[in-house]
Amino acid sequence: MAAGSHFMLYTTFYHACVYCVHNYAIDTQLQRLYNGKMSQEKIKNLTQKQKKIFDYISDCLKKDKLSPTISQLAKFMGVSSLRTVTQYLESLERKGLIVRAHHQNRGIRLATYDDVMTSTVILPVISSAGCDNMQVFAEQSFDEFVTLDCDFIHGKNPEQVFVFRAVGDSMCDAGIETGDLVITEKTSEVFSKDKVVAVIDGMALIKQINFSPNAVVLQPMSQDPQYRPIIMKKDFQVFGKVIDVIKNFSGGDELVYEDL
Protein backbone atom coordinates (compact mmCIF):
# COMPACT_ATOMS: atom_id res chain seq x y z
CA MET A 1 0.00 0.00 0.00
CA ALA A 2 1.37 3.42 -0.94
CA ALA A 3 2.23 5.97 1.74
CA GLY A 4 -0.49 8.32 0.45
CA SER A 5 -3.06 5.56 0.74
CA HIS A 6 -2.03 4.96 4.32
CA PHE A 7 -2.44 8.65 5.09
CA MET A 8 -5.90 8.72 3.52
CA LEU A 9 -6.94 5.61 5.45
CA TYR A 10 -5.72 6.99 8.76
CA THR A 11 -7.27 10.43 8.16
CA THR A 12 -10.64 8.92 7.22
CA PHE A 13 -10.44 6.55 10.18
CA TYR A 14 -9.71 9.39 12.61
CA HIS A 15 -12.29 11.86 11.32
CA ALA A 16 -15.00 9.19 11.26
CA CYS A 17 -14.36 8.51 14.94
CA VAL A 18 -14.39 12.19 15.90
CA TYR A 19 -17.51 12.77 13.79
CA CYS A 20 -19.27 9.94 15.59
CA VAL A 21 -18.36 11.17 19.06
CA HIS A 22 -19.12 14.84 18.48
CA ASN A 23 -22.12 14.80 16.16
CA TYR A 24 -24.42 12.25 17.70
CA ALA A 25 -24.87 13.76 21.16
CA ILE A 26 -22.93 10.96 22.80
CA ASP A 27 -22.79 12.78 26.13
CA THR A 28 -26.58 13.02 26.29
CA GLN A 29 -27.03 9.39 25.32
CA LEU A 30 -24.50 8.24 27.89
CA GLN A 31 -26.03 10.44 30.56
CA ARG A 32 -29.32 8.60 30.11
CA LEU A 33 -27.44 5.31 30.00
CA TYR A 34 -25.58 6.10 33.22
CA ASN A 35 -28.76 7.08 35.03
CA GLY A 36 -30.33 3.80 33.94
CA LYS A 37 -28.43 0.75 32.79
CA MET A 38 -24.90 1.77 33.80
CA SER A 39 -25.86 2.68 37.36
CA GLN A 40 -27.79 -0.57 37.69
CA GLU A 41 -24.76 -2.51 36.48
CA LYS A 42 -22.63 -0.83 39.14
CA ILE A 43 -25.16 -1.72 41.84
CA LYS A 44 -25.40 -5.30 40.60
CA ASN A 45 -21.65 -5.75 41.12
CA LEU A 46 -21.67 -4.65 44.76
CA THR A 47 -21.08 -7.13 47.53
CA GLN A 48 -24.08 -7.92 49.74
CA LYS A 49 -22.86 -5.62 52.51
CA GLN A 50 -22.03 -2.82 50.10
CA LYS A 51 -25.49 -3.04 48.54
CA LYS A 52 -27.15 -3.10 51.96
CA ILE A 53 -25.39 0.14 52.93
CA PHE A 54 -26.02 1.76 49.55
CA ASP A 55 -29.73 0.92 49.76
CA TYR A 56 -29.89 2.36 53.28
CA ILE A 57 -28.27 5.61 52.16
CA SER A 58 -30.62 5.80 49.17
CA ASP A 59 -33.67 5.23 51.36
CA CYS A 60 -32.60 7.94 53.82
CA LEU A 61 -32.06 10.43 51.03
CA LYS A 62 -35.40 9.58 49.48
CA LYS A 63 -37.45 9.66 52.70
CA ASP A 64 -35.69 12.32 54.78
CA LYS A 65 -33.85 14.30 52.09
CA LEU A 66 -30.80 13.90 54.32
CA SER A 67 -28.00 11.37 54.30
CA PRO A 68 -27.32 9.28 57.41
CA THR A 69 -24.47 10.25 59.72
CA ILE A 70 -21.46 8.00 60.24
CA SER A 71 -22.84 7.06 63.66
CA GLN A 72 -26.20 6.12 62.18
CA LEU A 73 -24.48 3.98 59.58
CA ALA A 74 -22.42 2.25 62.27
CA LYS A 75 -25.58 1.47 64.23
CA PHE A 76 -27.31 0.20 61.10
CA MET A 77 -24.35 -2.01 60.29
CA GLY A 78 -23.99 -3.24 63.86
CA VAL A 79 -20.33 -2.22 64.14
CA SER A 80 -18.52 -0.11 66.70
CA SER A 81 -15.64 1.05 64.49
CA LEU A 82 -16.33 4.26 62.56
CA ARG A 83 -13.34 3.40 60.38
CA THR A 84 -15.21 0.32 59.16
CA VAL A 85 -18.04 2.58 58.06
CA THR A 86 -15.73 4.98 56.21
CA GLN A 87 -14.07 2.04 54.43
CA TYR A 88 -17.42 1.01 53.02
CA LEU A 89 -18.17 4.59 52.01
CA GLU A 90 -14.79 4.88 50.31
CA SER A 91 -15.56 1.68 48.41
CA LEU A 92 -18.94 2.99 47.22
CA GLU A 93 -17.34 6.28 46.22
CA ARG A 94 -14.60 4.55 44.21
CA LYS A 95 -17.28 2.61 42.38
CA GLY A 96 -18.99 5.82 41.32
CA LEU A 97 -22.20 5.39 43.34
CA ILE A 98 -21.89 8.07 46.01
CA VAL A 99 -20.11 11.38 46.52
CA ARG A 100 -19.00 12.51 49.97
CA ALA A 101 -18.51 16.09 51.13
CA HIS A 102 -15.78 15.56 53.67
CA HIS A 103 -15.93 17.28 57.07
CA GLN A 104 -19.72 17.49 56.87
CA ASN A 105 -21.92 15.51 59.24
CA ARG A 106 -24.44 14.59 56.53
CA GLY A 107 -22.35 14.99 53.44
CA ILE A 108 -23.27 11.92 51.40
CA ARG A 109 -25.24 12.09 48.16
CA LEU A 110 -25.80 9.76 45.24
CA ALA A 111 -23.37 10.21 42.35
CA THR A 112 -24.61 11.72 39.12
CA TYR A 113 -23.36 11.38 35.58
CA ASP A 114 -21.49 14.70 35.89
CA ASP A 115 -19.67 13.47 39.00
CA VAL A 116 -18.44 10.38 37.22
CA MET A 117 -17.40 12.28 34.08
CA THR A 118 -15.07 14.64 35.96
CA SER A 119 -12.48 11.88 36.33
CA THR A 120 -13.32 9.68 33.38
CA VAL A 121 -13.29 9.75 29.60
CA ILE A 122 -15.71 8.09 27.19
CA LEU A 123 -14.07 6.34 24.23
CA PRO A 124 -15.55 4.30 21.39
CA VAL A 125 -14.40 0.72 20.97
CA ILE A 126 -13.88 1.32 17.28
CA SER A 127 -12.62 -2.02 16.07
CA SER A 128 -11.22 -5.39 16.82
CA ALA A 129 -7.49 -5.69 16.21
CA GLY A 130 -5.80 -8.95 15.34
CA CYS A 131 -2.87 -10.12 17.40
CA ASP A 132 -2.56 -12.89 14.81
CA ASN A 133 -1.37 -12.26 11.28
CA MET A 134 -3.87 -10.49 9.03
CA GLN A 135 -7.06 -11.97 10.46
CA VAL A 136 -9.28 -9.11 11.65
CA PHE A 137 -10.65 -6.30 9.49
CA ALA A 138 -10.36 -2.77 10.86
CA GLU A 139 -14.08 -2.12 10.62
CA GLN A 140 -15.39 1.13 12.04
CA SER A 141 -17.78 -0.11 14.72
CA PHE A 142 -19.23 2.47 17.09
CA ASP A 143 -21.95 0.46 18.81
CA GLU A 144 -19.83 0.02 21.93
CA PHE A 145 -18.41 2.66 24.25
CA VAL A 146 -16.30 2.34 27.36
CA THR A 147 -15.92 4.80 30.25
CA LEU A 148 -12.35 4.81 31.53
CA ASP A 149 -10.56 6.50 34.38
CA CYS A 150 -8.46 9.31 32.90
CA ASP A 151 -5.34 7.64 34.29
CA PHE A 152 -5.64 5.03 31.52
CA ILE A 153 -4.91 7.61 28.82
CA HIS A 154 -1.79 8.92 30.61
CA GLY A 155 -2.41 12.60 29.96
CA LYS A 156 -3.03 12.17 26.22
CA ASN A 157 -5.64 14.14 24.30
CA PRO A 158 -8.85 12.03 24.51
CA GLU A 159 -9.67 12.90 20.88
CA GLN A 160 -6.45 11.17 19.87
CA VAL A 161 -7.05 8.01 21.91
CA PHE A 162 -8.93 4.96 20.65
CA VAL A 163 -9.81 1.56 22.04
CA PHE A 164 -9.31 -1.72 20.19
CA ARG A 165 -10.48 -5.13 21.35
CA ALA A 166 -7.66 -7.64 20.93
CA VAL A 167 -8.23 -10.89 19.03
CA GLY A 168 -5.59 -13.62 18.82
CA ASP A 169 -2.56 -14.82 20.75
CA SER A 170 0.52 -13.61 18.89
CA MET A 171 1.13 -10.87 21.50
CA CYS A 172 0.59 -13.04 24.56
CA ASP A 173 4.18 -12.56 25.79
CA ALA A 174 3.47 -8.82 25.90
CA GLY A 175 0.41 -9.45 28.05
CA ILE A 176 -2.09 -8.78 25.25
CA GLU A 177 -4.61 -11.57 24.67
CA THR A 178 -8.05 -12.10 23.19
CA GLY A 179 -10.68 -9.95 24.89
CA ASP A 180 -8.28 -7.33 26.21
CA LEU A 181 -9.01 -3.66 25.57
CA VAL A 182 -5.97 -2.04 23.99
CA ILE A 183 -5.79 1.73 24.64
CA THR A 184 -4.04 3.34 21.68
CA GLU A 185 -2.84 6.89 21.03
CA LYS A 186 -3.05 7.91 17.38
CA THR A 187 0.49 9.00 16.59
CA SER A 188 3.27 8.40 14.09
CA GLU A 189 5.95 9.00 16.73
CA VAL A 190 6.93 5.47 17.65
CA PHE A 191 10.27 3.86 18.43
CA SER A 192 11.73 0.39 18.23
CA LYS A 193 10.22 -2.01 20.80
CA ASP A 194 7.00 0.04 21.06
CA LYS A 195 3.75 -1.91 20.80
CA VAL A 196 1.65 -0.46 18.01
CA VAL A 197 -1.60 -0.82 16.10
CA ALA A 198 -0.95 -0.97 12.37
CA VAL A 199 -3.50 -0.99 9.55
CA ILE A 200 -2.47 -3.04 6.52
CA ASP A 201 -4.86 -3.47 3.58
CA GLY A 202 -7.80 -2.71 5.85
CA MET A 203 -6.60 -5.06 8.58
CA ALA A 204 -5.86 -3.82 12.11
CA LEU A 205 -2.91 -5.56 13.74
CA ILE A 206 -1.25 -5.26 17.14
CA LYS A 207 2.50 -5.89 17.02
CA GLN A 208 5.84 -4.76 18.39
CA ILE A 209 7.59 -2.45 15.94
CA ASN A 210 11.28 -2.60 15.10
CA PHE A 211 13.23 -0.54 12.58
CA SER A 212 16.04 -1.72 10.31
CA PRO A 213 17.97 0.52 7.90
CA ASN A 214 15.53 -0.08 5.03
CA ALA A 215 12.47 -1.74 6.55
CA VAL A 216 9.89 -1.70 9.33
CA VAL A 217 9.34 -5.02 11.10
CA LEU A 218 6.05 -5.77 12.85
CA GLN A 219 7.09 -8.43 15.30
CA PRO A 220 4.79 -10.87 17.15
CA MET A 221 5.59 -11.41 20.81
CA SER A 222 4.93 -15.11 21.27
CA GLN A 223 7.00 -18.28 21.51
CA ASP A 224 4.63 -19.99 19.09
CA PRO A 225 6.51 -20.45 15.76
CA GLN A 226 3.32 -20.09 13.71
CA TYR A 227 3.45 -16.32 14.25
CA ARG A 228 5.89 -14.65 11.89
CA PRO A 229 7.11 -11.05 11.51
CA ILE A 230 5.56 -8.77 8.90
CA ILE A 231 8.15 -6.71 7.02
CA MET A 232 7.12 -3.38 5.53
CA LYS A 233 8.98 -0.69 3.61
CA LYS A 234 10.76 2.07 5.51
CA ASP A 235 8.08 4.70 4.78
CA PHE A 236 5.33 2.58 6.35
CA GLN A 237 3.36 4.41 9.06
CA VAL A 238 1.44 2.90 11.96
CA PHE A 239 -1.99 3.98 13.17
CA GLY A 240 -0.90 4.50 16.76
CA LYS A 241 0.99 3.44 19.85
CA VAL A 242 -0.36 1.20 22.60
CA ILE A 243 -0.38 3.17 25.87
CA ASP A 244 -2.27 0.78 28.15
CA VAL A 245 -4.13 -2.54 28.24
CA ILE A 246 -7.22 -3.52 30.24
CA LYS A 247 -7.16 -7.25 30.69
CA ASN A 248 -9.91 -9.55 29.40
CA PHE A 249 -12.66 -6.94 29.47
CA SER A 250 -16.15 -8.39 29.10
CA GLY A 251 -18.10 -5.29 30.10
CA GLY A 252 -19.91 -7.04 32.95
CA ASP A 253 -17.30 -8.35 35.36
CA GLU A 254 -15.98 -6.25 38.21
CA LEU A 255 -12.43 -5.16 37.48
CA VAL A 256 -11.51 -4.27 41.08
CA TYR A 257 -12.10 -6.72 43.85
CA GLU A 258 -12.28 -5.63 47.46
CA ASP A 259 -12.30 -7.43 50.78
CA LEU A 260 -15.10 -5.41 52.33
Catalytic residues: 170, 207
Cβ atoms 159, 123 nearer than 8 A: no
Question: Burial letters for 179-216: b for 16+ Cβ neighbours within 10 Å, e otherwise?
Answer: ebbbbbbbbeebeeebbbbbbbeeebbbbbbbeeeeeb
- Strand pairing category for 108-110 and 230-233: unpaired
Report the alpha-carbon distance of residue 108 to residue 66 in Å, rounded.
Answer: 8
Burial label for 137, CB within 10 Å (0-12, 13-18, 19+), is: middle
Nearest residue to 151 (alpha-carbon basis) of 113, 94, 98, 193:
94
For 208, phi and psi rounded to 5 degrees? Answer: -90, 135
Report the alpha-carbon distance of residue 81 to residue 84 in Å, rounded.
Answer: 5
Report the alpha-carbon distance of residue 22 to residue 105 in Å, rounded.
Answer: 41
H or E stretch at 205 = strand 203-212
